[in-house]
Chain A
């Protein structure tokens, strides 16, 4: 049984070794030529894929909870969903969470993930107090904020060692509900205005109809909100639906995407409306359907996520949305987010500006379109998110990551480059 990532592309044969204790891991590290850690495979592309895979998810004990400070110590294979199951009923939530809770703590650190509140709280590394990591020679190091190994590992895509344990601080909440406001906009200009005028609210995310044309380019549903204060903390994960098999590839053509977009967009009332929704609906709508990646058929899909600096966001996004809508290639999901200041980590994705994430099924002509989009991203000084990527060229990648040489040198100096490698790290030579 080979491990594949969420995009189901590429599929290569691999040997899996499960992490259960540090002694066997130490032997494994010393014996194996090269490998890459794999959390729960929720990265879309090839960043956790190689011929040898270290499966970290079974390494998932909770170790300690400091009630007064709200700091949890746990092993790297713990899923964010497990943290929520335990701590939401006790009045705690993650400071930073991506759009799925089915990722491991190790994966969250390695991708330095961000959530709907990046403009306020920053990346996941902000809430990491400290972690331990096993290096290429089998030694275990404890790493604190500010250490070079911290800067390299948060966002470092598993290329610096195996993250073993982490101390993460949680935030207090009084409710499992979020007071949400939905704002329907007519075009990109209105969308930007709506983001800016709501940026004092902690959470925001926009769903863009990326097949809209002409004047309507950039029309969206913007959801903003914050936790309610009603004291209701009864949190139980819902039973989820599951997609039992890969959909045939014709199921997802431009027409069905158009219909979907129309329905989704038409469902919301015009202007501004208010709702009270629970944690899972607000933060993790896609987790409600297990294996939804199968709707893209057995050839798989990819997510294209880029970010543009604030100054060039409007122009750059307009150009990219135009390019996509003329290409006719559909994307169910086009998610636009606002970001605050970048951090110091060598390879973290966010910079101050806007990012757009789009899903595309793998088919003829797709990579040509994405190469075109790359050119626009580079032209506007943007960058591509490694954890979603499966095809970016070394040149395009380098343009967006000014600290890449520091990272490369750090890896070389510490012999990490001979031990930790993914298909991605080889492609973009990091």
Chain B
């Protein structure tokens, strides 16, 4: 059975995405920094689903390693899912350029680096799927979160272009825009219940949307409406609001 490569496999969303693909019969490459900490998850998935799981050491900001990383995969994956993400408080990123840079590098530059390589391979093979987990935060610059948001906006635009380029070769590209998700990262925030998704639901949504070859997925779907409204508030008003 084919492999799916998950980049940034340590997050709560990645964990559920991995379980979901395994449940549906895919073998997995789980790529992350200090991948040995994923031993538990590997074991979990192997007991749960009886598929083959391999842990791969991978640093999304070590661009020079990406080519050889991909080349050394024994069997090329059928699909690649980029879940990596970096978010710090806006205030911190404003003050400390290194934090801004890290945000941009993880969320955008690094993703571009690895996906360029993947895309060239998939295009020549005329098969495969790419899933990029972006964010609703990329839909509009907001004062509360625009450094993270702008890195995701760039990633969203990249995925859009990639989708158009790969269309002819039959390779699908799905852009995922989660809203609030109940994860380690958001554990101590008081999120509105109706807008907050569980990681397992996000994973299921991703799997279903990818299998159907969809282009863009908002999860929960209510975010499509929320962002539609937010995007259409005129700038002269928006700048006075504290969204």
Contacts and interface: CB of A to CB of B under 8 A. Distances in A.
B43 A63 contact: yes
Contacts of A62: 43-44, 47-48
Contacts of B184: 18, 20
Interface in A1-15: 1
Nearest to B42: A61
A18 B12 CA distance: 12
A5 to B, nearest CB: 15
A20 to B, nearest CB: 7
A289 B217 CA distance: 24
Contacts of B43: 61-64
A1 B187 CA distance: 10
Contact of A86 (B40, B41, B49, B187): B49
A1 B198 CA distance: 13
Interface in B167-208: 184, 187, 190-191, 193, 196
B142 interface: no
A233 to B, nearest CB: 14
Contacts, number: 31
B76 interface: no
B47 A65 contact: yes
B187 A18 contact: yes
Interface string A311-343: 000000000000000000000000000000000
Contacts of A82: 48
Given A20-B184, A61-B41, A1 B47 contact: no
B52 interface: no
B interface residue count range (under 10 / 10 to 19 / 20 to 34 / 35 or more): 10 to 19
B140 interface: no
Contacts of B47: 62-65, 72, 86
Given A61-B40, A61-B43, A1 B48 contact: no
Nearest to A65: B47
A270 interface: no
A86 B190 CA distance: 34
A405 interface: no
Contacts of A64: 43, 47
B23 interface: yes
Contacts of B48: 62, 82, 86
Contacts of B190: 1
A363 interface: no
A32 to B, nearest CB: 15
A65 B184 CA distance: 28
Interface in A339-364: none
Contacts of A147: none
B136 to A, nearest CB: 19
A85 to B, nearest CB: 7
Contacts of B40: 61
B74 to A, nearest CB: 26
Chain A CB within 10 A, most for which of B12, B23, B47, B190: B47
A369 to B, nearest CB: 32
B202 to A, nearest CB: 14
A90 B190 CA distance: 41
Nearest to B186: A1
A348 B48 CA distance: 30
Contacts of B196: 1
A62 B23 CA distance: 13
B180 to A, nearest CB: 10
B36 to A, nearest CB: 15
Nearest to A72: B47
Contacts of B23: 85-86
Interface string B42-62: 011001111000000000000
Interface of A: 1, 16, 18, 20, 58, 61-65, 72, 82, 85-86, 90
| A-B pairs, 6 with minimum CB distance | A61-B44, A62-B47, A62-B48, A62-B44, A86-B48, A65-B47
Given A16-B187, A62-B44, 7 more contacts: A18-B184, A61-B40, A63-B43, A64-B43, A86-B23, A86-B48, A90-B50
15 contacts: A1-B193, A58-B12, A61-B40, A61-B41, A61-B43, A62-B43, A62-B44, A64-B43, A64-B47, A65-B47, A72-B47, A86-B23, A86-B48, A86-B49, A90-B50
